[in-house]
Amino acid sequence: MEQKPRVGIVVGSPNDLPKVREATDVLAGLGVPYEVVVASAHRTPEKVTRYAAEAAARGLEVIIAGAGLAAHLPGVIAAHTTLPVIGVPLAAGTLGGLDALLATVQMPPGVPVAAVGIDAARNAALLAAAVLALKDEELAAKLKDFRRQMAADLEAQAARRIEELWGGKK
């Protein structure tokens, strides 16, 4: 039986979908069920409102919202739910994502959005998993393993690179 999604991933355009692929890869790797939805704060505003308003009752626990340009999507979602909303500003236009970064991070007091870096969908997924792990010991253990593996990979990569550049010379 398919598991109910715990994380909702919303993007503002079908063109944004490839950019959240790395978020779904992370969540799948951690065994966190998710769903992906396209809804635009400007072009399909009723869909966004309905999705956000119904999210908690549907069992979602965290929402990741990615949008480019005047990225109002994370903020509008946050306006309609008290679930944690993680905004991913996407590089979609001439300003390289700086426009979306500022729109995502500069929320008015009272309606927070946790903004990650431009195009940082992977970090958004890890942050979403960290929120879920507060009440999920199995997931918390998987996140610790992920960190251990990341550190081991970095050490191995550093050793290889140092050997390549200075191998033989002491």
Q: Where does this chain bind ligand RP5 (CB under 6 A)?
A: 12-13, 15-16, 40, 67-69, 90, 92
Nearest CB to ligand RP5, comparing residues 70 and 83 = 70
Minimum distance, C-beta of residue 66 to ligand RP5, in the bound complex (Å): 7
Residues 6+ positions from 127 with CB-CB distance below 8 Å:
86, 114, 116
Question: Position 36: which residue type?
Answer: V
Cα separation, 48 vs 118, in Å, equals 22
Report the length, in residues, of the chain.
170
Minimum distance, C-beta of residue 97 to ligand RP5, in the bound complex (Å): 9
Nearest CB to ligand RP5, comparing residues 40 and 81 = 40
Nearest CB to ligand RP5, comparing residues 12 and 75 = 12
Minimum distance, C-beta of residue 142 to ligand RP5, in the bound complex (Å): 30
Tell me which residue of 61, 1, 73, 67 sits closest to 35, measured CA to CA.
61
